[in-house]
Chain A
Amino acid sequence: MDVFGAEIQEFFHYLRSVGFSKLLRVFWFFFFFEFFRYVIVDLISLVFIMWDRKRNRNNYEDAKRRMWLELPLVSIVVPGKNEGKHIYKLTTSLKEQTYKNFELIIVDDGSDDDTEIICKSLKKNGLIDYFIRNEVRGGKASGANTALRIARGKYVVHLDADCSYDFDAIENIIIPFYESPDVGAVGGNVMVRNYKESLATTLQSFEYTDAISIGRMVASYLGIYRVVSGAFGAFRMDILQRVQGWDIGPGLDGDITVKFRKLGYKIKFEDRAVCQTNVPNSFRKLTKQRLRWDKSLIRFRLRKHSDVFFPSQNFSLTNFISFIENITYTLVLNIKWYIYASDMIYNFASVLPFIIVMNFFLYTTTNMFKLLVFNIFRERKNTPFSYFVLYVPLMVFYHGYYLRIVRTIAYIKEFFFKQSYKDPWNPEKTSIKALEIGI
Chain B
Amino acid sequence: MVEDFEKGQIIVDKNVVTYHDLKYFIVELNDKFRPDNLIKYDVLLIDIKEDELVTYVVKQIRTHINPRIYMMPIFLLSTTDFHEVVTTHLTDGILPSINHLDSIEPRALDIKANIERINHPKVLSFESQMINRTLNLMYTRNKKVLNPIPYFHSGIGYYYPELSINFDHRDESGALKILEIAEQEGLFQSEFHERVYCCNNCNGSYLNYREVCPKCNSSDSISQDLVHHFPCAYVGPIEDFKNNIDDQLDCPKCNKTLRHIGVDYDKPSVLYTCNSCHHRFQDYYTKAKCITCGTENDVEHLVPFSIKKYIMTKKGENVAINGYINIEKQLESLEGTVTMAIFKVLLTYEIQRLHTQGYQSNIGYIHVQHAAAVAGVLGLEKQKALMNDLVQMLKSNLNPSDFVSFYNSSTIVFSFVNTKHKEAKEAIEEMKDLSERLLRKSFEKVHIEVRTDVIALKLGGEVESVVNSMVFPLTKM
Contacts and interface: CB of A to CB of B under 8 A. Distances in A.
A99 interface: no
Contact of A133 (B233, B264, B282): B282
A271 B310 CA distance: 74
Contacts of B253: 244-245
A263 interface: no
Interface in B271-289: 271, 280-283
A432 B214 CA distance: 38
Contacts of B231: 248, 430, 433-434, 436-437, 439
Interface residues of A, number: 32
14 contacts: A120-B283, A130-B280, A134-B228, A136-B268, A138-B268, A142-B235, A149-B226, A149-B237, A246-B233, A248-B230, A430-B230, A433-B231, A434-B230, A437-B256
Contact of B282 (A131, A138, A245, A434): A131
B298 to A, nearest CB: 9
A132 interface: yes
A436 B256 CA distance: 12
Interface residues of B, number: 26
A148 interface: yes
A146 B269 contact: yes
A248 to B, nearest CB: 5
B235 A148 contact: yes
B262 A429 contact: yes
A245 B234 contact: yes
Nearest to B253: A244
Interface in A101-130: 110, 120, 123, 130
Contact of A142 (B228, B262, B281): B228
A139 interface: yes
B266 interface: yes
A315 B280 CA distance: 39
A132 B233 contact: no
Nearest to A109: B268
Interface of A: 110, 120, 123, 130-136, 138-139, 141-142, 145-146, 148-150, 244-248, 429-430, 432-434, 436-437, 439
Contacts of A149: 226, 235-237, 271, 280
B29 interface: no
A193 B268 CA distance: 34
B345 interface: no
A199 to B, nearest CB: 37
A148 B271 CA distance: 13
Nearest to A249: B233
B230 A134 contact: no
B252 interface: yes
A247 B233 contact: yes
B254 interface: yes
A335 B236 CA distance: 43
B266 A138 contact: yes
Contact of A146 (B230, B235, B256, B281): B235
Contact of A248 (B232, B269, B280): B232
Contacts of B268: 110, 134-136, 138, 142, 146
Contacts of B280: 130, 149-150
B184 to A, nearest CB: 37
Given A130-B280, A130-B281, A429-B262, A145 B269 contact: no
A221 B268 CA distance: 41
B237 to A, nearest CB: 8
B233 A430 contact: yes
B263 interface: yes
Contacts of B256: 437
Interface string B219-234: 0000000101011111
Given A138-B266, A142-B268, A132 B252 contact: no
A34 B252 CA distance: 45
A146 B233 CA distance: 9
A246 B233 CA distance: 7
Nearest to B224: A149
Contacts of B266: 136, 138, 429
Contact of B269 (A132, A148, A244, A430): A132
B317 to A, nearest CB: 51
A138 B232 contact: no
A247 B281 contact: no
Given A132-B271, A150-B271, A433 B252 contact: no
A134 B252 contact: no
Contacts of A132: 269, 271, 282
A139 B269 contact: no
Contacts of A150: 271, 280
A54 B256 CA distance: 51
A300 B1 CA distance: 103
Contacts of B264: 433
A282 B281 CA distance: 40
Contacts of A130: 280-281
A433 B230 contact: yes
Interface string B77-89: 0000000000000
B263 A245 contact: no
A142 B281 CA distance: 17
B269 A135 contact: yes
Contact of B234 (A136, A145, A429, A432): A145
The 3 A-B pairs of least Cβ separation, nearest first, read A141-B233, A134-B268, A145-B235
Given A134-B228, A244-B234, 13 more contacts: A110-B268, A123-B214, A130-B280, A132-B282, A136-B268, A142-B233, A149-B235, A149-B280, A244-B232, A248-B232, A248-B233, A437-B231, A439-B232
B270 to A, nearest CB: 9
Contacts of A433: 230-231, 264
Nearest to B256: A437
A25 B232 CA distance: 49
A132 B283 CA distance: 8
Nearest to A252: B233
Contacts of B262: 429
A330 to B, nearest CB: 25
Contacts of A145: 228, 233-236
Contacts of A432: 230
A126 to B, nearest CB: 10
Nearest to A120: B283
Interface in B178-220: 214
A130 B283 CA distance: 10
B263 A437 contact: no
Interface centre among B253, B282, B283 (most CB of A within 10 A): B282
A191 to B, nearest CB: 29
A134 B264 CA distance: 16
Nearest to A136: B268
A437 B281 CA distance: 33
A110 to B, nearest CB: 7
A150 B236 CA distance: 10
A116 to B, nearest CB: 10
A218 B256 CA distance: 40
A150 B280 CA distance: 6
Contacts of B234: 145, 244-245
Given A149-B235, A149-B236, A133 B269 contact: yes
